[in-house]
Chain A
Amino acid sequence: MTADSDAPARLPSKGLAVLAYCLAFLGAMFVYFTLHPTGFWLGVTAAVPVLAMIWLAMVVIRLRRQLACIPSSANRAYLRRFLPLMALYMLIVGGEVWFEGRYTPTRPLAVVLAILPALPLIGIVWAFGRLLVEETDEYLRSLTVRQFMVATGFMLCVTSIWGFLDAFGQVPHVPMYWAFILWCMGLGVGTLYNEMRS
C-alpha cells in the first residue's frame, strides 16, 4: 500500500483561480472608480469579484478534500455558512440599489438600509471564526490562521497607504467597508503564500 505513499506532496496549483480572483477584484475597482456604474451595472461590477472569490473557495475546498484522508467537516460547514450568507449579501445589495434608484429613504429607514448589508458580512466573519474553532486538523488550521494573518496584514498595509494618500488629497475617498473587501482579497494572497510555503 505504498504506491501513493509520497505522491502529490504539494497541493495541485490553484493559481488560476487566485489570479482570476485578483484580476476580477482589480478590474471591478477600476470600473467602479473610472466608469462610476450605477443600478444594474453596479451590481454586475460587484458580482464579478464575488463570483471569482466563490470559485476560488470551491477550488481550495475541493483540493483539500481531494488530498485529505479524512474529509474536513469544518470546511464543509464553513461553505454551508459562507455561500448562503454571500448570496444574501448580494441579494440585499441588489435590492437596495434597486430601491435607492426609485426612492429616497430618510431616517430611520436609511439607517436600517445602511446597516442591512453589513449583517451578512458580520455573519461571514462569524463563519471564519467557526472554521478556526471547528477545524480539528491542526496543520490545516495553522494554514488557515496563516492565511488570515496574511489577509490582515494585506488589508492593514493597503488601508494605511490609501488612508494617508487620501489625507493628502491624492486619491479619492473610499468607504470603510472596502476594508472587508480588501481583507477577502488578502485571503487570495494568503492562499498564494501558503502554496509557496507548502
Chain B
Amino acid sequence: MKNRLKVLRAERDWSQGDLAQRLAVSRQSVNAIETGKYDPSLPLAFRIADLFGLAIEEIFVNPARETQP
C-alpha cells in the first residue's frame, strides 16, 4: 500500500531506526511498510497515525481510490 511514511519521517529528521524504536517494531518492518511490501495491521496503522498526529488515511493511500480514474 502506498503511503507517506518516508516523507513524514524525513520531515521529523527520523531514521528508519528512530521510527522503528518509537513504534516498538523492527527496522525491517518500517522499511517493508515504507516500500509498500507489507501492509500493517489496523492496530499498527493506528499507532503510526497516533505517532504522527494524523488520520490513517492521511498517511496511507486508499487502494480503492488509487485505482479510480
Contact = CB atoms under 8 A, between A and B. Distances in A.
Given A69-B20, A139-B33, A197-B37, A2 B26 contact: no
Interface string B25-62: 11111011101011011001000000000000000000
Nearest to B28: A67
Given A2-B10, A9-B35, A70-B21, A140 B15 contact: no
Contacts, number: 69
A23 interface: no
Interface size band for B: 20 to 34
Contacts of A3: 15
Interface in B6-30: 9-10, 13-18, 20-21, 24-29
A-B complex: 9 closest residue pairs judged by Cβ atoms: A139-B29, A68-B26, A5-B15, A69-B20, A69-B21, A69-B17, A137-B26, A69-B27, A1-B15
Interface of B: 9-10, 13-18, 20-21, 24-29, 31-33, 35, 37-38, 40-41, 44
28 contacts: A1-B15, A2-B13, A5-B9, A5-B10, A5-B14, A64-B28, A67-B26, A67-B27, A67-B28, A68-B20, A68-B26, A69-B21, A69-B26, A69-B27, A70-B24, A70-B25, A72-B26, A136-B24, A137-B25, A138-B29, A139-B25, A139-B29, A139-B32, A139-B38, A139-B40, A140-B28, A198-B28, A198-B32
